[in-house]
Amino acid sequence: MANGKNTKTAKNGNKNYGSTNKDDSAEVKNGKIKKVAEAKELPNDVPEKKEASISELAAQIKENEKTVSGEQKPLIELRHVNKSFQVGKSTIPVLKDINFKIYPREFIIILGPSGSGKSTLLNTLLGLEYPTTGKVLINGQDLTELSPNKLAKFRYKTFGIVFQKADWVRSMNVIQNVAMPLAINNVGKKERMKIATERLKEMGIDDHSNYMPTELSGGQQQKVSVSRALTGNPPILVADEPTGNLDTESAGKVMRFFRDLNERLEKTLLMVTHNIDYVSYATRTIYIRDGQIVEGSGSFKE
């Protein structure tokens, strides 16, 4: 009778752990083994570290997919930028609460269809247009606080600009065109020709120094344009639809060239385009549509 009570008590989960029931015994034993295994695999300090790591990674991806943004200060930052134009009695909003950060050595593509606000965004970022409201910070300097003259000097030192269509001085050869920005800024002839030669060598086109620009192919002309844009050794290179006038093969070469330039010279590269095929070349893409920043390639439709 006593044994019967003991067995019943064990089955009911009371204090008698000497139960002869194999299933109950195995369950308790397995439960203990499982807890020991969990304790060995997950020390007390691991969960906190794992949680912190995930949190940091999530923040990193959100801010910059390929740059450890938490360890760097942004080179370019737009804060609540709005831009409107007055047309007659109507106010036309073009940029609507634009916020983003760009970090050193990134290759950024600003992507959007025609009429999305890309050109206005680029002009505002370069200081060619003042925002209606908001701040444009370049390396910590708020462009909205600079006078037009100071802004022009700041732009020259900070940005190298490559346009869709290069405007050459047709009476000058390649190296003279590359040296032109230095001449405008009162750099001596010997020094500016030396710098122009170095930039052409960096682009791998110094053997065309004495050609006329119009004698070169579209891709070669873009390399010369980049050489000219880099004569002042600016930290940021901006390209506005640089492949717009090129065929598919030449455009692909130019895009590979820009990617190599970003990696080799460690310049921050900012390119504006409407072509979604170029996204793979960039470290990150900023999508704009109807004057607003949107997320994900699925939000872009030509």
Q: Is residue 59 part of a domain?
A: no
Mean pLDDT by runs of 10 across the 302 residues of the chain is 45 43 45 42 42 44 46 90 94 95 94 91 94 95 92 92 86 95 91 94 92 91 91 92 82 87 90 90 93 66 46
Whether 16 and 152 map to the same domain: the answer is no
| 39 token code pair | 């304790």
Whether 17 and 162 map to the same domain: the answer is no
Whether 151 and 248 map to the same domain: the answer is yes
How many domains does the chain fold into? 2
What is the DSSP pairing of strand 141-142 with strand 133-138? antiparallel
Q: Is residue 64 part of a domain?
A: no
Report the CATH number that the domain containing residue 93 is assigned in CATH: 3.40.50.300
Give me the pLDDT at residue 57, please: 40
Q: Is residue 46 part of a domain?
A: no
Q: Is residue 47 part of a domain?
A: no
Whether 134 and 250 map to the same domain: the answer is yes
Whether 154 and 236 map to the same domain: the answer is yes
Q: Is residue 118 part of a domain?
A: yes
Give me the pLDDT at residue 78, please: 96
Q: Is residue 27 part of a domain?
A: yes
Q: Which residues pair with 288 in a beta bridge?
A: 293
Q: Is residue 57 part of a domain?
A: no
Give me the pLDDT at residue 189, please: 93
Whether 178 and 221 map to the same domain: the answer is yes
| Contacts of range 207-210, beta carbons closer than 8 Å, 24 or more positions apart | 208/174, 209/173, 209/174, 209/175, 210/173, 210/174, 210/175
Which H, E and C letters describe 110-172, residue by residue? EECCCCCCHHHHHHHHHCCCCCCEEEEEECCEEHHHCCHHHHHHHHHHHEEEECCCCCCCCCC
Q: CA 277 → CA 213, 262, 281, 287, distances in Å?
A: 28, 18, 9, 13
Whether 34 and 153 map to the same domain: the answer is no
Domain range holding 17?
2-41
Whether 28 and 162 map to the same domain: the answer is no
Whether 271 and 136 map to the same domain: the answer is yes
Whether 8 and 125 map to the same domain: the answer is no
Give me the pLDDT at residue 93, please: 95
Give me the pLDDT at residue 295, please: 66
Instruction: Using alpha carbons, select from 298, 297, 242 the residue that is nearest to residue 273.
Output: 242
Give me the pLDDT at residue 20, please: 43
Whether 175 and 33 map to the same domain: the answer is no
Q: Where are the alpha helices (DSSP H) in 42-95?
A: 46-63
Q: Is residue 60 part of a domain?
A: no
Per-residue DSSP letter, 81: E
Whether 31 and 135 map to the same domain: the answer is no
In our burial notation (b when 16+ CB lie closer than 10 A, e otherwise), range 20-36 reads eeeeeeeeeeeeeeeee
